[in-house]
């Protein structure tokens, strides 16, 4: 049963600390997305990779967020330094052409 795996599922951290979220996309998918779910904005696209190359990260605060795909089985989203307003659920999704399959998300709380 192929699925997108995200770790950790929950993270509580203090303001100013570095946070790294990890995602294992579905094998064979060449596209990876990072989304953030907030009450007001719904699912916001933060970053988007195709064949491991970043194509769009315009949704990310550049000064503190970074997204990478060191290999085809791992995507990372890093926040440094974290701030309380970063508290949200972060979803990774991998896809084929027009459909995205989501992981269960990482619930981040920055206190």
Partner 1 sequence: DQQVKQNSPSLSVQEGRISILNCDYTNSMFDYFLWYKKYPAEGPTFLISISSIKDKNEDGRFTVFLNKSAKHLSLHIVPSQPGDSAVYFCAASDPTFSGGYNKLIFGAGTRLAVHP
Per CB under 8 A, residues contacting partner 1 are: 4, 31, 33, 35, 40-45, 48, 50, 55-56, 91, 93, 97-105
Task: Return the HEC string of 55-111.
Answer: EECCCCCCCCEEEEEEECCEEEEEECCCCHHHCEEEEEEEECCCCEEECCCEEEEEC
Query: Would you say 57 or 66 has its CB closer to partner 1?
Result: 57
CA 53 from chain centre, in angstroms, equals 15
Q: Shortest distance, CB of residue 81 to partner 1, whole angstroms?
A: 27
Q: 48 or 65: whose CB is closer to partner 1?
A: 48
Q: Which is nearer to partner 1, 35 or 65 (CB)?
A: 35
Q: How far is the CB of 102 from partner 1 (least distance, A)?
A: 3
DSSP state letter for 25: P
């Amino acid at each position: 049963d192929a699925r997108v795996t995200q770790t950790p599922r929950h993270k509580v951290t203090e303001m100013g600390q570095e946070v790294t979220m990890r995602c294992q996309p579905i094998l064979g998918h060449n596209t990876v997305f990072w989304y953030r779910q907030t009450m007001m904005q719904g699912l916001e696209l933060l970053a988007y990779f195709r064949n491991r190359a970043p194509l769009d990260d315009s949704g990310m605060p550049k000064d503190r967020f970074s997204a990478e795909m060191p290999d085809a089985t791992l995507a990372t989203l890093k926040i440094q330094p974290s701030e309380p307003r970063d508290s949200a659920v972060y979803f990774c999704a991998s896809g084929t052409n027009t459909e995205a399959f989501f992981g269960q998300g990482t619930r981040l709380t920055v206190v």
